[in-house]
Amino acid sequence: MTEAWDGVLVGAHLATLDGGAGYGAIEDGALGWRDGRFTFVGPRAALPDAPERLADAVIDAGGGWVTPGLVDCHTHLVFAGHRAAEFEQRLLGASYEQIARSGGGILSTVRATRAADEDTLFAQSLPRARALLGDGVTTLEIKSGYGLDLDDERRMLRVARRIGQSLGVGVRTTFLGAHALPPEYANRADEYVSRVCEWLAELHGEGLVDAVDAFAERIGFGIAQTRRVFEAARALGLPVKLHADQLSDGGGAALVAEFGGLSADHVEHTSDAGVRAMARAGTVAVLLPGAFHVLRETQLPPLDAFRAHRVPMAVATDCNPGTSPLLSLRQAMQLACTHFRLTPEEALRGTTVHAARALGLDDRGALRTGLRADFVHWNIDHPAELCYWLGGPLARAVHAGGHRLC
């Protein structure tokens, strides 16, 4: 070794997830890193020298397990206000669609978000990001979509960038201008989609957009309108993803696959043809059990078809004020196991390897030499405990790029 490492961790088991099956477990493992990337992942006995001679900073973990940093690949974390009253309405019998059509739902949050200045929006959103970080998240996606005009969408994306800079976590921003039809464009959806495409070009030019999303649904936007947004994204060289087939099979998964999209998200009603299209395109299925749970849905995603066609399945919080007020990705893993019957290994891969792929990131999601030194030290005796416990603090330490964040 010619250069000293920045840090070494010893004294814990490793769930590397570096391979096609199993946890990739290494008992009595060790990690080394320099300049934010792993320089060593393996058994402690295979270290090239004594830990204290390899790096000045040596962490004796004292037991437990280390996994890759978790990746939350679908959140609406930046917003103002809350929608607790709608939660109560649903418990009293109102449906999600009924609430949305009566002026609630997404448009309720749009009104609150438009009324908040940037500092207020940042102050309200930062604690939600801190909660995810405290439970092991080192990378997260944050969507816009509660502004629905140029200035307010810009403010949301700026706040998302600020959150990443403030906390030291990786943040990928997704432009979701085609989230809902704002009231000022009532009955003029095609005209609004034209504006969305114009805003996308401007916001991308300002360096605020990493990917593009849309809500393709009967209470959202049609396939033809979504296609226009995707074509605008493709012209700018931006990857796409989609809220697809959540409430009905509208062909959304097949559409995003047609564009080589990163992911199709929700996918409860996706057809076998849609699954096959995703498999051919390499599009990840992002499962959102928080929304499934809160909305008390009964239509399961086509999990057996995803497995049969080897479609990678990611798991995310879908953190949002209306249908998934979920502030723990580990809790999303538990819900995915309980509602969708994922195995704990599938759930962990879904929040690391496959979630990173759903964001187009190939530099994280596993413990492997050369990847980003994002890792979490957990107070557990077996990786399955991450999905077993209903809440409670399990993360001893969270590192991103080799730096301890909490």
Tell me how far CA of residue 191 lies from CA of 38, 182, 234, in angstroms. 49, 12, 20
Q: How far is CA 403 from CA 34, 42, 44, in A?
A: 10, 20, 21
Binding site annotation covers 246? yes
Nearest to 86 by CA among 96, 73, 75: 96
What is the length of the chain?
406
User: Is 179 marked as a binding-site residue?
Assistant: yes
322 is in an annotated binding site: yes
Q: Does 146 count as an annotated binding residue?
A: yes
> Whole-angstrom Cα distance, residue 249 to residue 68?
34
d(CA 14, CA 373): 13
Residue 31 DSSP code: E
* Nearest CA-CA partner of 376 in 31, 1, 54: 31
Q: Distance between CA atoms of 325 and 393, rounded to whole angstroms?
A: 19
Query: Can you say whether residue 9 is alpha, beta or left, with left for phi > 0 and alpha for psi between -120 and 50 degrees?
Result: beta
Question: Is 165 known as a binding-site position?
Answer: no
Residue 74 assigned as binding residue: yes
* 96 marked among binding-site residues: no
Classify residue 186 by burial, with Cβ atoms within 10 Å: 0-12, 13-18, 19+: exposed
Q: How far is CA 115 from the centre of its chain?
A: 26
Q: How far is 155 from 176, CA to CA, in rounded Å?
A: 13
What gap in Å lies between CA 48 and CA 45, rounded to an integer?
9
Distance, in Å, from the CA atom of 147 to the CA atom of 278, rounded to the nearest integer, reads 30
Q: Which residues pair with 137 in a beta bridge?
A: 70
Q: How far, CA to CA in Å, does 184 sit from each of 81, 166, 217, 335?
A: 21, 35, 20, 38
104 assigned binding-site residue: no
Strand partners, 67: 376
Crossing angle (nearest 10°) for helices 150-167 and 189-205: 40
Is residue 266 a known part of a binding site? no
Which amino acid is present at 89?
Answer: Q
Q: Which residues sit in the known binding site for N-formimidoyl-L-glutamate?
A: 146, 320, 322
Q: Which residues sit in the known binding site for Zn(2+)?
A: 74, 76, 243, 318
Q: Which residues sit in the known binding site for 4-imidazolone-5-propanoate?
A: 83, 146, 179, 246, 323
Q: Which residues sit in the known binding site?
A: 74, 76, 83, 146, 179, 243, 246, 318, 320, 322-323
Q: Which residues sit in the known binding site for Fe(3+)?
A: 74, 76, 243, 318
